Chain A
Amino acid sequence: DQQVKQNSPSLSVQEGRISILNCDYTNSMFDYFLWYKKYPAEGPTFLISISSIKDKNEDGRFTVFLNKSAKHLSLHIVPSQPGDSAVYFCAASNAGGSQGNLIFGKGTKLSVKP
């Protein structure tokens, strides 16, 4: 049973346009969410996070939006650059509980075309 779902396996965007990556979760106990980026032959690297007490967090070109009622979060990349081409993983955790490990989605492969 997938608790964190990334329903789009891939996304193709033109350079300079906005990339929107979506993530849905089923466990209402999740209260902390993170996005990781992964290049081939490398481990995932942390990108941005958001706590459930917020609905938006911004870091440069990257913004994460959280809609708790819909159990949905999204990552916006504006403007998209070819170097952003990677697999993006959404992850969630119940920070307040003992099960603090991260649960990851299956990932979305983003291709940014010049």
Chain B
Amino acid sequence: KAGVTQTPRYLIKTRGQQVTLSCSPISGHRSVSWYQQTPGQGLQFLFEYFSETQRNKGNFPGRFSGRQFSNSRSEMNVSTLELGDSALYLCASSLRGQGSVEKLFFGSGTQLSVL
């Protein structure tokens, strides 16, 4: 079974631009979560989508948004990029139904550099 696939692996943008990251979950997984990893902050939760609906949201500004498609693939968008948005963005998928916790399967991430 193929793992979680994230594209692109690396991205370089300049301040003020916007970026879209893509994530394909493991086949059959309906939950997709996004995390931001920075050296000083560890993994910080951005949001979770389940069956095309945002189910949970972390404490990030509205510049960070996402969506999920009917095939469970997900995209994350960051508008008006700032230098501090430079980070590794990780996508994770799971079967997770409401009220349950299952282990997450992570992709290799997209390394975003904002210049």
Q: Tell me the nearest residue of chain A to B103, going by C-beta.
A: A46
Q: Say yes or no: is A79 at the interface (Cβ < 8 Å to chain B).
A: no
Q: Which of A14-22, A68-76, A99-107 contacts B (4 or more CB under 8 A)?
A: A99-107
By size class, the interface of chain A is 20 to 34
Q: Say yes or no: is A28 at the interface (Cβ < 8 Å to chain B).
A: no
CB within 8 Å for A32 and B101 given contacts A43-B109, A100-B96? yes
Q: Say yes or no: is A45 at the interface (Cβ < 8 Å to chain B).
A: yes
Q: Say yes or no: is A49 at the interface (Cβ < 8 Å to chain B).
A: yes
Contact among B96, B103, B108 for A34, CB-based, below 8 A: B103
CA separation between A70 and B18, bound complex, in Å?
44
CA separation between A102 and B96, bound complex, in Å?
12
Q: Say yes or no: is A95 at the interface (Cβ < 8 Å to chain B).
A: yes
Residues of A within 8 A of B108 (CB): 41-43
CA separation between A104 and B100, bound complex, in Å?
17
CA separation between A93 and B98, bound complex, in Å?
13
CB within 8 Å for A99 and B42 given contacts A43-B90, A43-B106? no
Q: Say yes or no: is B75 at the interface (Cβ < 8 Å to chain A).
A: no
Residues of B within 8 A of A46 (CB): 103-105
Q: Are B103 and A49 in contact (CB under 8 A)?
A: yes
Q: Are A100 and B4 in contact (CB under 8 A)?
A: no
CA separation between A105 and B42, bound complex, in Å?
6
CB within 8 Å for A106 and B56 given contacts A46-B104, A98-B98, A100-B99? no
Contact among B41, B48, B90, B99 for A101, CB-based, below 8 A: B48
CA separation between A105 and B109, bound complex, in Å?
18
Q: Tell me the nearest residue of chain B to A108, going by C-beta.
A: B42
Q: Say yes or no: is A25 at the interface (Cβ < 8 Å to chain B).
A: no
11 A-B pairs (CB sep. < 8 Å): A34-B103, A89-B42, A91-B43, A96-B99, A97-B99, A100-B96, A100-B98, A101-B33, A101-B45, A103-B45, A104-B45
Question: Which 6 A/B pairs are nearest by Cβ-Cβ distance?
Answer: A43-B106, A106-B42, A104-B43, A95-B101, A46-B103, A93-B101
